[in-house]
């Protein structure tokens, strides 16, 4: 029996379906979702749920090998990682335009209620062994 923090059935199933190297994106309300990736919309109201809340829940179930965020997110915080960015690996940074191109290759895109610009993270699945 599963005993993790993630209650959203569709998101839990999507994470369980990821293979090594598959990408899952957690995005703010302004991040465009291209055709192709599975879309899971969690947004309820502005700010709810936040990127940090969704990221924490996803990380409770997903083995992350690599992560990518936009350089603009780091620049907005004066060169530090954003406070929502509690990742088990140091994220790679790419321009926001490149980040949006990478989203086209994602298997899953999760839309949060986050309204902070560039509060997006791309997670690349690892393996548990």
- Tokens representing 117 are 């610009």
**Which residue among 13, 20, 96, 98 is the active-site one?**
20
20 is catalytic: yes
* Burial bucket for residue 129 (CB in 10 Å: 0-12, 13-18, 19+): exposed
Q: What are phi and psi of 33, to 5 degrees?
A: -105, 115
CA distance readout (Å), 120 to 2, 53, 97, 114, 127: 27, 13, 12, 9, 23
Answer yes or no: are the C-beta atoms of 82 and 128 closer than 8 Å.
no
Residues belonging to the active site: 20
């Amino acid at each position: 029996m599963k005993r993790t923090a993630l209650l959203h059935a569709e998101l839990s199933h999507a994470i369980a379906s990821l293979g090594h190297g598959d990408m899952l994106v957690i995005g703010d309300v302004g991040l465009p979702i291209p055709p192709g990736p599975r879309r899971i919309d969690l947004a309820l109201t502005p700010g709810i749920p936040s990127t940090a809340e969704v990221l924490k829940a996803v990380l409770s179930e997903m083995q992350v090998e690599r992560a990518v965020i936009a350089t603009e997110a780091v620049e907005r915080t004066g060169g530090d990682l954003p406070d929502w960015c509690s990742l088990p690996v140091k994220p790679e940074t790419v321009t926001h335009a490149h980040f949006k191109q990478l989203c086209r290759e994602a298997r899953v895109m999760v839309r949060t209620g986050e309204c902070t610009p560039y509060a997006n993270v791309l997670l690349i699945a690892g393996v548990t062994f």
